[in-house]
Chains A and B, each alone.
Chain A
Amino acid sequence: MAESRVPRWMVPTLCVVAPVTLGLAATGPGAVFAAHAQLFLLTYSGVFALVAMSLTVMIGLTATDRSLLTIRYRVLAQAGHRTTSTVGMTFLVAHLMVKILAGHASAADAVVFGLGPIGLGAMAFDLFLIVLLSGVTRFWFAAGTRPGLWRGLHALSYLAWPVAIMHGLTAGRQAAPWVVWGYVLCLVFVGLALLNRAVLVVRPIVPVREGEPEPSPTPVRTRRKSKAEQR
């Protein structure tokens, strides 16, 4: 018996909220509010999307780290990773929609990538879309015969994210120097963390249980096994 993943209240709530919102937007004050909201999204949705996706990449990377985080915080980090990615993708879609509606870009610009400022944005969007889909379908990859394929698809985020930063820094308003430095620092740290993940593996943090002899207290770092040994 598969449980429905959509909460029972969701559909009725949407059915009420959506028409009410549209109705309110048709009134005088509602129209003013809608215009403000549109301006806000035009200005900031891209920034918010980029910040949220940056957080997503960084939290996702830390979620597998066992040298610092206990199981509990790694589970929490996975939840955070999903939350920020949802927020990021939502802002990203809003960003695309308002830009297209405002005539700053065409619908094709959203997906056809290139090396110009907008082309880079489209490239980041395409890549993030693949990463998002792989994240959503993780259950099937785990159940299927090629779980390794998932790694490859999801790792595209390490390409998508720098491209998104490039787009953020080159398109639209001129970024403040501290913003640029902030992104550079993030890139460096993520790079180092990735390097750490590739070179070192950490043994499981051993849970101490009542009545059992205490295991070695600190996680021991060891060299990663060679590919041949792993098979």
Chain B
Amino acid sequence: MSLTFTAIGAPRIGAGFDRFPRLGLGQHRAMHGKIPEMGLGDLIELVERVDLRGRGGAAFPVGRKLAATSKSGPGAVVLVNGAEGEPGSAKDALLLTRAPHLVLDGAQLVATALKASEIVIGIEGAAGLESVQEAIAEREAPQPFRVVPLLERFISGEGGALVRAANGEDPIPPGRKLRAAVSGVDGLPTLLSNAETFAQLAVLASLGAELYASAGTDEEPGTVLLTVAAEHVVEVPTGTPLADVFAALGVSTGQGVLTGGYHGSWLSPDAAQVARVSRSGLEAVGGSLGAGILLPLAEGVCPLGESLRVASYLAAQSAGQCGPCRLGLPEVVRTLSDLMDGLGGVTPVRRAVGIGRGRGACKHPDGTAAFVLSAMTAFAEDIAIHAEFGSCNRPVRGLLHVPGDENGRLEVDWARCAGHGVCAYVLPEVIRLDRNGYPVVSNNPLPTWLERDVRKAVAMCPALALRRSPR
């Protein structure tokens, strides 16, 4: 999948992208100049004048984050979150690949202000990794840089998981919440933010507050990076009509637009026509800006089926450490699957979705719940058709991109299976027994954390009737 970059209005972060595939140090300096060094007080004041927020999805005020980190004691670390676990997002990968110096400038600006001892950059994917390593070699910095390669998993971008990855631990969300600003990398106060945030910081420092605020709305000045349909990265000033973005790309809003990624919510085509690109603008129509992900669903496919694919993917992406998520998400998938076959109803889905809500080390079950509930509302018409006819006769094309399944699937040799039921006991997340006592194997990708149980179930089948399909 090739990534394109488009700017509506004058590009800031994307300045020079039209001429260079990647901005080396010289090109970067020519575009953005040398970023002035700033004291902590000046930096916080500058950031608060334009109310800069984190661009990873949570929109936490950067000024407050800076203040909190500096208050936690001396010896801070700056941690750049370059993880793009969201299959619908590509802006951070693009940024780290094409404008690594802008991100490093921003990180260095913060590190100098905080008198940080180290800058750590977590990156997914080989292209970004190579580009950033090259950029680090090109420049001189008072602080040492460290690059941490990350696994391409949905939860890699969670703050706690990233801190653990930087510490060389298992990159999964920690069970006990520790604010990175208090105790992050090596137990030091850590300023953790998304890669785009640092790029915006560099642009802000280079332009100054007034010039920075000359684009965008008064409440949320500046530009924002969007990823549309997982393959177009767009830089737009806030307040731009969403319809203009889609028109500029020649992409249709189709049956609806998923905003905020796979933990986000659906906009109807009508809402997408009137929405404006900003946090408040999208919230006004029931969407969310999040990390700037916009996924339109084209006409002619089954929206319920497409949503089910995403829900299956999300269920398989659980780290498997929290029970309500581990068992609740497969249940969500089962109820959604029933709904699609016209057997279940919306109520069982809502009940299943409730299992994991607010009951995990991270927000994965909550985000999945939000996505599924939003789909229930957005595609109510389609659900009614499925309830009546058992299908809407439209294909599922996999238009909402999910990475391929890495662990294969389970197959039952029906000629051998004698309904012993052992597999369902060993692997309840994947296998249920039907009313006759024979296994019903869910058609979902097998999560990595289930590896041991899958092997166990295959080895324990008394009839040797269970096997794993080739990957």
* A interface residue numbers (CB < 8 A to B): 1-3, 63-64, 66, 71-72, 74-75, 78, 138-139, 141-143, 147-148, 150-151, 201, 203-207, 209, 212, 215, 230-231
Q: Could you show 9 A-B contacts with beta carbons less than 8 Å apart?
A: A64-B420, A75-B422, A75-B460, A138-B459, A148-B464, A203-B419, A204-B418, A206-B435, A215-B436
Among the stretches B30-38, B95-103, B447-455, the one at the interface with A is B447-455
- Contact A143 to B468, CB < 8 A, known contacts A1-B451, A78-B460: yes
Decide if A215 touches B420 in the complex (CB within 8 Å).
no
Decide if A209 touches B435 in the complex (CB within 8 Å).
yes
Question: Which residues in B have their C-beta under 8 angstroms from that of A209?
Answer: 435
Residue of B nearest to A70 (CB): B421
Decide if A74 touches B419 in the complex (CB within 8 Å).
no
| Number of B residues with CB within 8 Å of any CB on chain A | 30
Decide if A72 touches B455 in the complex (CB within 8 Å).
no
B202 at the interface (CB under 8 A from A): no
Question: Which residues in B have their C-beta under 8 angstroms from that of A230?
Answer: 415
Decide if B458 touches A142 in the complex (CB within 8 Å).
yes
Residue of B nearest to A72 (CB): B425
Question: Which residues in A have their C-beta under 8 angstroms from that of B435?
Answer: 206-207, 209, 212, 215
Decide if A143 touches B437 in the complex (CB within 8 Å).
no
Decide if A71 touches B425 in the complex (CB within 8 Å).
yes
A-B residue pairs, 10 tightest by C-beta: A204-B437, A204-B419, A147-B464, A139-B459, A71-B421, A142-B464, A143-B467, A71-B425, A206-B437, A138-B459
Q: Which of A138, A151, A201, A205 meets B421, CB within 8 Å?
A: A205
Decide if B421 touches A3 in the complex (CB within 8 Å).
no
Q: Which of A3, A141, A147 meets B451, CB within 8 Å?
A: A3
Most buried by A among B438, B461, B464: B464
B462 at the interface (CB under 8 A from A): yes
Decide if A204 touches B438 in the complex (CB within 8 Å).
yes
Question: Which residues in A have their C-beta under 8 angstroms from that of B349?
Answer: none
Query: What distance in Å separates the Cβ of A129 from its nearest Cβ neighbour in chain B?
Result: 19
Query: What distance in Å separates the Cβ of A56 from its nearest Cβ neighbour in chain B?
Result: 16
Question: Which residues in A have their C-beta under 8 angstroms from that of B436?
Answer: 204, 206, 215
B373 at the interface (CB under 8 A from A): no
Query: What distance in Å separates the Cβ of B151 from its nearest Cβ neighbour in chain A?
Result: 9
Residue of B nearest to A212 (CB): B435
Q: How far is the CA of A204 from the CA of B418 in the complex (A)?
A: 7
Decide if A204 touches B421 in the complex (CB within 8 Å).
yes
Decide if B462 touches A63 in the complex (CB within 8 Å).
yes
- Contact A142 to B461, CB < 8 A, known contacts A207-B437, A215-B435: yes
